[in-house]
A and B are shown apart, each in its own frame.
Chain A
Amino acid sequence: MKAESKKSLEDRMLLEKLREILLERDREELQEVKRLLNDPVEVSKRVSPIFDEKLRYLKDNFPREFGTMVDETIDKRLKSSQEELLNIIYPVLGQMIRKFVSQQFQMLKDSIDYQVKNTFSSRGILGRFRAKLFGVKDSDLMLGELDAPIVQEVYVIQRYSGLLMGSYSKTETIDQDLIAGMLTAIKSFVEDAFQKEREELEMIQYGSFKIIIQNYYKYYIAVAISGSLKERDRDELSEKILTFAQNKLKKDIEFITGEVVESISTELKAFFEEDGTNLSN
């Protein structure tokens, strides 16, 4: 048993010796590779040319290799963050559009000026005469006609409750009771927040739309107008509303019933349609 174990030990030692002889060169090479890998200068010297070549290849072939993938990614990203993008783009676009519109308006004005100056029709002559007489530019006169103020909606609303007493609208709108309620809430808020003695909200403007508010003791009348409203038109509208209030809203209305709303709405329709909703006429 002992002789056998001694033999095995000798074999193993011989094998180890043989391994050392055979692998000595490999070990030396491995040490050299390790040294090179741990030396950044050496690594860079060997790797950089490969990277440079790959980068050159990518530069030349990027659209072909990755174009579709990039397109798809951008497409997905655009779809998933439309709102974010709009938030970023909107102000820039807004400015561009404003610039474009003002440029177009200037072009339109120039073109109208040119047309007016070259028109000998009675209307043209009269228009120019009016323009000269009142010191108004020809273009402003014609643009004014294009952008005439038109009454779109009228609401008679109980002063504090915000309950709708009657309404007239040229087009279908959302629930008019809600409009009356929210309008009153806004009016109340503004008047409360910026408390000034006996001062009341008289106008709300958004874009080219204006809501003119005329206040009375127990109710107020709100008129929504599109187009450009000049001081003269506003005075005319005030007169018109006052006439309506004096003639049609004489009764002291305490309780608002369906009949009251219907009756005032009919009066409003008749009054504004008969008298015309275009304020510049």
Chain B
Amino acid sequence: MISKKVILTGSFGVGKTSLFNQFVYNRFSDKYLTTIGVKVNKKVIEVKGEELSILLWDIAGEVSQDKVPVSYFLGASGVIYVFDLTRPTTFKNIERDIEYLKGLLPNGVTKIVGNKCDLVTPEQITELRKEIEIPFDITTSAKTGENVNELFLKLGEELI
């Protein structure tokens, strides 16, 4: 078994904790509780016949990524940058944020995730793909569970 640290980051209210809960516990809650500081959890998945223990750090949302303590990111092998497909303010600084994260973790795997896909139509997603400066990797719905496991499996494959 291999252990890897993965960071969940992005603006507040984009659904990081919901993705985290959906991935770790297979559950979703409509109640919004802002994360204080950081929450750590773990899930073991199987990737290419090998066990991978993902230590997931769910970091409290900040509009600006550089307001999060740098040390939270250090030692991470992967970063999941989450934005909300329905709130443009959550992806307006995406380019700057990704550049900042890549500067901190040059060898880390980064996944850009558009969450809350249950609230938008496929046409709107196509429009957003044209609008957002950086191509995003996957769209997910923490509410319905759509693509959540796929996201972590893809990330896991790249981490091993």
Contact = CB atoms under 8 A, between A and B. Distances in A.
Interface of A: 158-164, 175, 177-178, 181-182, 185, 188-189, 191-193, 255-258, 261
Interface residues of B, number: 22
A163 B71 contact: no
Given A177-B42, A178-B40, A258-B1, A185 B70 contact: no
Question: Which secondary structure dominates where chain B touches chain A?
Answer: strand
29 contacts: A161-B76, A161-B77, A162-B55, A162-B57, A162-B75, A163-B3, A163-B4, A163-B55, A163-B75, A164-B3, A175-B42, A177-B3, A177-B42, A177-B53, A178-B42, A181-B5, A185-B40, A185-B57, A188-B69, A188-B72, A188-B74, A189-B37, A189-B38, A189-B69, A189-B72, A192-B70, A193-B69, A257-B1, A258-B51
Contacts of B51: 258
B144 interface: no
Given A158-B75, A178-B42, A258-B2, 5 more contacts: A160-B71, A161-B75, A177-B53, A182-B40, A189-B37
Contacts of B40: 162, 178, 181-182, 185
B159 to A, nearest CB: 11
A185 B41 contact: no
Interface of B: 1-5, 37-38, 40-42, 51, 53, 55, 57, 69-72, 74-77
Contacts of A182: 40
B38 A185 contact: yes
Most chain A CB atoms below 10 A, which of B51, B70, B71: B71
Nearest to B74: A160
B5 A161 contact: yes
A182 B5 CA distance: 12
Contacts of A256: 2-3
Nearest to B71: A188
Contact of B5 (A163, A189, A191, A258): A163
Nearest to A218: B75
Contacts of A185: 37-38, 40, 57, 72
